[in-house]
Structure 1
């Protein structure tokens, strides 16, 4: 089994709900919100530096750890100690499934053929002074 690991530095953006608009011909079109679209482009850029020789076509096991920025109210020494011990966890939005969706979409056609190849997924989120996403792909 082979493994690809990398970090996506910065705060992860959750996959937003599709927005509806009108095209020049009057048809209704759906599009990604700008923040989701920009984050996916950034994921593609980082992932392209770690891509395999050929796109993965078999089953994929995916692990993602999201490190969210620590709120200012938790910048005290006792709260920081709890965060470092893993006892104070983010139970606020965004949801882990929305965070994971943005990364999975960004890895499609760069690392694997389609995100339906992901057969198992472990997604976690923690607080950190350095927001980032740690990605590990096993295939």
Structure 2
């Protein structure tokens, strides 16, 4: 099992941009976030790249509270009773995190067979990532 905590404001994957010649590239904010995530993940994990076995990934993206949030609302958010319902979408956070960890934790993200992802508010913005061997769902009955 691999557990990572990367501090800083999570950034969702931006739409790819295109040059006049048709080459695609990441917007600057997305590119910088992926670089930071890759660097911090390298500091926390120095094992061999995962490959040739199925894995599952759990992601929690903790974004900052807005400045004008009341103490009562902040407490609700810290207890995860209130969660972000506006953009960016959870799947866009997932995309940028998975892209950043490709080549750092796993050789290719095609080995990921299961993903759970959440977005929350926090006074300490960060992303938490847990990677473990894939566990097939238990049969009912």
TM-score, shorter chain, exceeding 0.5: yes
Alignment of 1:46-125 (within 5 A): 46-57=40-51, 58-74=53-69, 76-125=70-119
Distance in 2 (CA, whole Å) between partners of 1:77 and 1:109 is 41
| SS of corresponding position for 1:49 | helix
Unaligned runs of 5+ in 2: 134-141
Judge conservation of contact 1:12–1:66 (CA < 8 Å) in 2: yes
1:4 aligns with 2:2: yes
Judge conservation of contact 1:15–1:99 (CA < 8 Å) in 2: yes
Aligned residues: 132
Cα drift, residue 78 of structure 1: 1.4
Q: 1:19 — aligned with what?
A: 17
Distance in 2 (CA, whole Å) between partners of 1:70 and 1:8 is 18
The Cα offsets for residues 76-132 of structure 1, whole Å up to 9 and x where unpaired, read as 221122112221110011101000100100110111011111111110011111110
RMSD, aligned α-carbons: 1.2
Unaligned runs of 5+ in 1: none
Change (3 A) 1:53 1:85: closer
Give TM-score, length-normalised by structure 1: 0.90
Give TM-score, length-normalised by structure 2: 0.88
Cα drift, residue 28 of structure 1: 1.8
Distance in 2 (CA, whole Å) between partners of 1:5 and 1:36 is 22
